[in-house]
Amino acid sequence: MRLLHTADWHLGRIFHGIHLTDDQAHLLEQFIQMARDTKPDAILITGDIYDRAVPPPEAVRLLDETLTRLCLDVGSPIIIIAGNHDSPERLGFGSRIMAERKLFIAGYPVHDPMRVQLQDKWGPVDLFPIPYAEPALVRERLKTNEAIDQASSLKAIMDRIRMARCAGTRTILLGHAFIQGCQASDSERPLSVGGAEAVETSLFDGFDLVALGHLHRSQSVNGGRIQYAGSLMKYSFGEADLGKSASLVEMDGASGIAIQKLPLVPRRDLRIIEGTFAELLCSDPDDPKREDYLMARLLDRDPVFDVMGRLQAVYPNLLHIERAQIPGVEGRIDAHADFRKRTEVDLFSSFVQDITQKEWDEDQRLRFEAVVSELRREDREAIA
């Protein structure tokens, strides 16, 4: 059984004010070609298809175009589940009709588990799609009071799947969850507020493959039997060091798993550049990477005027500026301090040190004290 696994497309994403639809279309064109080349027995898309519950029209058009080409040009069955960013109703619209074209969409958790059965030369393979297990929806749809958090909600669903599965048949799960011990990025939206969201791997014991979405870093546990494909593209500067890919999974008749990562090459990479303002300003004008989406980490100790505007003349897609922390120099501003008990000199000293990352010298302090004293004298005279 050959499976092409992807997740977390987040169509309609806006990143630092930039609409990423064209970048996502560039990557999905590669994904369609991957599907043509590999001819999988099924394509698995495990949640967060859209970036928000009410996606913009251009995101809907891109999904329509992508799924149409996959269904008509490739012909492999496609199984999609809703993630925590998706609206189950909007994503699942027309799903019963689409199933006739081998496009299976699981929007809501259901009492009777949805099963898609495929065949290979070794016999049947059952795939159970599990959409994001929002506890309130699980309680409503499964008529149970046991679903109080992510773990108990998934357990309620898994108990029903275990009752429905056929003994001796290879079984694959599709899910959208946070597995304990896996590494998160800073671009995922938490699955719960004020409660536990991570679930243990033991919840999926006994299944041959668990293809997951939610975490944007491609990774696997349990010898590859539980795996995240990762997101379609980098959605935060915390992911700048990550490569993005889709996963080609081969399962043999004895449930042996082999995984191949098929790289996705972005139209513009998302990178962090570092140096002094002068160093960054002297970029090679012929550098083909100058138009990447960039964050600049400045090493200057002194303030620089209009950093963003001047650097954007060199890097047109510079999105964010960050000042690197200089070792050995720490700011003095305390968020819990009572500022009413601090002098103007102490407050301004903390401000300057936080901005420039270096200590005031005595001459600067004396000159500032002289200015403050003069302003106080003028205030007294004005009142008099």
Band of pLDDT at residue 337, cut at 50, 70 and 90: low
- Choosing from 324, 339, 367, the residue where a domain stops is 324
Q: How many CA atoms lie within 13 A of 157 on its CB side?
A: 32
Percentage of residues in the chain having pLDDT higher than 70: 92
* Residue 240 sits in the same domain as residue 350: no
* Residue 235 sits in the same domain as residue 384: no
- pTM for the full predicted model: 0.83
Band of pLDDT at residue 207, cut at 50, 70 and 90: very high
Give the domain extent around 102. Answer: 2-263
* Residue 373: exposure state from Cβ atoms within 10 A (0-12, 13-18, ≥19): exposed
Count structural domains, the chain.
3
* Residue 235 sits in the same domain as residue 344: no
pLDDT tens sequence across 130-189 = 999 989 999 999 999 988 888 999 999 999 999 999 999 999 999 999 998 898 888 887
Mean pLDDT of 280-296: 87
Band of pLDDT at residue 195, cut at 50, 70 and 90: very low
* Residue 169 sits in the same domain as residue 156: yes
DSSP H helices in 51-203: 57-69, 88-91, 95-98, 135-142, 150-164
Any idea what the CATH number is for the domain that residue 254 is in? 3.60.21.10
- Choosing from 247, 263, 279, the residue where a domain stops is 263
Mean pLDDT of 35-62: 96
* Residue 144 sits in the same domain as residue 54: yes
Mean pLDDT of 315-322: 94
Q: How far apart are CA 165 and CA 171, in angstroms?
A: 8
* Residue 43 sits in the same domain as residue 56: yes
Band of pLDDT at residue 235, cut at 50, 70 and 90: very high
Q: Per the structure block, which two tokens stand in for 36?
A: 């043509």
Determine contact, residues 223/187, Cβ cutoff 8 Å: no
Q: How far apart are CA 70 and CA 78, in angstroms?
A: 8
* Residue 224 sits in the same domain as residue 187: yes
* Residue 291 sits in the same domain as residue 166: no
* Residue 283 sits in the same domain as residue 170: no
The three-class DSSP label of residue 216 is coil
Q: Is the pLDDT of residue 190 over 90?
A: no
Query: Which residue would you say has higher pLDDT here, 352 or 382?
Result: 352
Per-residue exposure over 163-195, b if at least 16 CB sit within 10 Å of its own CB, e if not: eebeeeebbbbbbbbbbeebeebebbeebeeee
Instruction: Please count the other Cβ atoms lying within 10 Å of the Cβ belonging to residue 327.
Output: 7
> Rounded mean pLDDT of the chain?
89
* Residue 354 sits in the same domain as residue 244: no
pLDDT at position 333 = 45
Q: Is the pLDDT of residue 371 over 90?
A: no
* Residue 73 sits in the same domain as residue 164: yes
The secondary structure element, H or E, covering residue 352 is helix 344-356
The secondary structure element, H or E, covering residue 332 is none
Query: Which residue would you say has higher pLDDT here, 380 or 269?
Result: 269
- Choosing from 217, 248, 263, the residue where a domain stops is 263
Q: Is the pLDDT of residue 201 over 80?
A: yes
pLDDT at position 335 = 45
pLDDT at position 383 = 58
Q: How far apart are CA 324 and CA 310, in angstroms?
A: 19
Any idea what the CATH number is for the domain that residue 290 is in? 3.30.160
* Residue 194 sits in the same domain as residue 74: yes
